[in-house]
Amino acid sequence: MCAAVAGEGRGRAVLPDPDPYGPWCRLPPGRPSVSERGGFGHWVAERGRKLAGLRFTSLRLRLVLVFGLVALTAAVSASGIAYWLNREAVLTRAQDAVLRDFRQEMQNRAGALPARPTQDELQRAAGQMAGSSQRFSVLLVARDPDGRTVYGGSGGLSGFSLKDVPPSLRAAVDRRQKTTGSDKSPYHLYWQRVSERGTPFLVAGTKVVDGGATGYMAKSLEPEAKDLNSLAWSLGIATGLALIGSALLAQAAATTVLKPVHRLGVAARRLGEGRLDTRLRVTGTDELADLSRTFNKAAEALEKRVADMAARDESSRRFVADMSHELRTPLTAITAVTEVLEDELEFEGGGIDPMIEPAVRLVVSETKRLNDLVENLMEVTRFDAGTARLVLDDVDLADQITACIDARAWLDAVELDAERGIHSRLDPRRLDVILANLIGNALKHGGSPVRVSVRIDGDDLLIAVRDHGPGIPEEVLPHVFDRFYKASASRPRSEGSGLGLSIALENAHIHGGEITAANSPDGGAVFTLRLPRDASRLTEEDEKDPSAEGGQGATT
């Protein structure tokens, strides 16, 4: 219930509010005071919205940002609530004390004035009222015996006048209220907080009934505003410290979380490099520890699987190598016999019965084919075992290619486009194997003439072998270097071993080179051999880091 001014006896005003500490009637504020504006919380909210639009790719930055935003939200919320509660408590306590004192002074001083006081009486009463414990400024308005409006002010605050009172407050004070059984006072006490030149004020007013004086009061709330500003700064500093602390905690938490993740990444890279005995140290029982255990189990299973596959592969290579070596002994004897039979076939005296001559020729050709197959298998096992090595020498490419063609009697079917004087440091035997396989394949499956061209491309040599046949079917091109690959399933048997191009490719790789197969736009297939002009670097690396199975593992 609002405190009211009620008349009780002549020349006396009584304010019969049963609860002097109860709520006062507050009007809507005029200009907001400094203490009521947004301030620090609004600034933090604006910065928070801007930071929310940023995106970071680093997990550590994201963790720090999330921790910071959580701490900032909590700190700002707690600070805002604390500031609001303290602000209301401080302002309510100050204004209640001021309004209670003003109410008492209006009852004692203004209520004692005559119904139509003179200006001197108003001035004297206003001065006495301003001398109360709250030290507020007072303005009294009344009509003198002549009916004129007179004013009496305390003179404080550079002269508190009626223009300093908001019109809405004056209208409320002058408005006569309906009386009820519980409230028989036709006039109430109203108050309003305003701001003048940055300083907050509490302005209140009430009226003595039965033509008595109307009193207005103005009290500066600057001390309270300063206390609230100090509180706001303290809360802001506490919020900043909380934000810094949360960033440090986030950094520590991120380090705790990301360190195992970093170790897992390092272990995964080592595992990808072939160090299959890499394991993670497992500590704790959290999710990261479970992840480390899972990684260790996966690495152990992978190591076992690779070891089993390597053992089977080694067993297969050993079997092929042993079989090839075992075949060479009887094959040598068979080859010697077939050479004798071949001489008999070529003898003009007809040493072989014509009835068995086809069988003898078949045995001779198949024996040669078997011998080539055994030699190719032994060569393949050397590549698979990693024991193949280069024996380098200075080679004139034109002479080397001519020697290869001449040794196999291909001079009439092969055209050579190579300048003399192009020297390279390569393995002559392996280069001869490459050329023999490429040219022989072109003559067998392509069409004459076969053209071999040589050119220099920077530090590399390019040797192109082109035939004039129908070309290679597109579905066959990706498989031409596969071992034992047959282009046609209906012709599973061929004169070759099916290893020639594969061996040629391995010999190119051991030089640090490459062979590619394609079809020429003008028709025919083109095999292009790219080799470094000097392969000495490869032999030096082999001497410094000889190939070996396995490697040292690591525990991360």
* pLDDT reported for residue 526: 92
Spatial distance between the Cα atoms of 413 and 465, rounded to a whole number of angstroms: 13
pLDDT confidence tier of residue 4, bands split at 50, 70 and 90: very low
Instruction: Evaluate if residue 33 carries a pLDDT over 70.
Output: no
Which range is least confidently modeled, 178-182, 457-461, 465-469? 178-182
Cα atoms found within 13 Å of the Cα of residue 360, Cβ hemisphere only: 17
In DSSP notation, 488-554 reads -TT----SS-S-HHHHHHHHHHHTT-EEEEEE-TTSSEEEEEEEESB-HHHHHHHHHS---SS----
DSSP codes joined into one string, 51-106: HHT-----HHHHHHHHHHHHHHHHHHHHHHHHHHHHHHHHHHHHHHHHHHHHHHHH
Length of the chain: 556
Low-confidence winner among 143-152, 358-367, 434-443, 536-545 (lowest mean pLDDT): 536-545
Domains contained in the chain, number: 1
How buried is 286 (Cβ within 10 angstroms: 0-12 exposed, 13-18 middle, 19+ buried)?
A: exposed
Q: Which has the higher per-residue pLDDT, 255 or 3? A: 255
Confidence check: pLDDT of 305 > 70: yes
Which residue, chain included where needed, has tokens 């109360």?
A: 132
Q: What is the pLDDT of residue 38?
A: 46
Per-residue pLDDT tens over the stretch 242-275:
878 777 877 777 777 777 888 888 888 988 888 8
CA–CA distance, 539 with 391 (Å, rounded to integer): 9
Q: Is the pLDDT of residue 527 over 90?
A: yes
The first and second tokens of residue 450, run together, are: 């076969």
Residue 434, domain member (yes or no): yes
Mention every residue, 6+ apart, whose C-beta is less than 8 A from residue 35. Answer: 87, 91, 200, 221, 224, 225, 228, 229
In a domain, 15, yes or no: no
Residue 396: domain span: 389-539
The pLDDT confidence band at residue 36, using thresholds 50, 70 and 90, is very low
Is 93 part of a structural domain of the chain? no
Average pLDDT rounded to a whole number, residues 186-205:
83
Structural domain includes residue 190: no
Whether residue 470 lies inside any domain: the answer is yes
Where do we find the tokens 């008492």?
A: 104
Q: Does 436 reside within a domain?
A: yes
Ordered DSSP codes for 220-285: E-HHHHHHHHHHHHHHHHHHHHHHHHHHHHHHHHHHHHHHHHHHHHHHHHHHHTT-TT-B----SS
Give the model's confidence band at 50: pLDDT under 50 very low, under 70 low, under 90 confident, else very high.
very low
Q: For the chain, what percent of residues have pLDDT higher than 70?
A: 80
Cα–Cα distance measured from residue 26 to residue 191, given in angstroms and rounded to the nearest whole number: 5
Q: Is 33 domain-assigned?
A: no
CB neighbourhood size of 69 (10 A): 15
Average pLDDT score over residue span 509-535? 89
pTM of the shown model:
0.45
122 is a domain residue: no
CATH number at residue 484: 3.30.565.10
Instruction: Considering only residues 185 and 551, tell me which one the structure prediction assigns the higher pLDDT.
Output: 185
Distance CA 186, CA 172 (A): 12
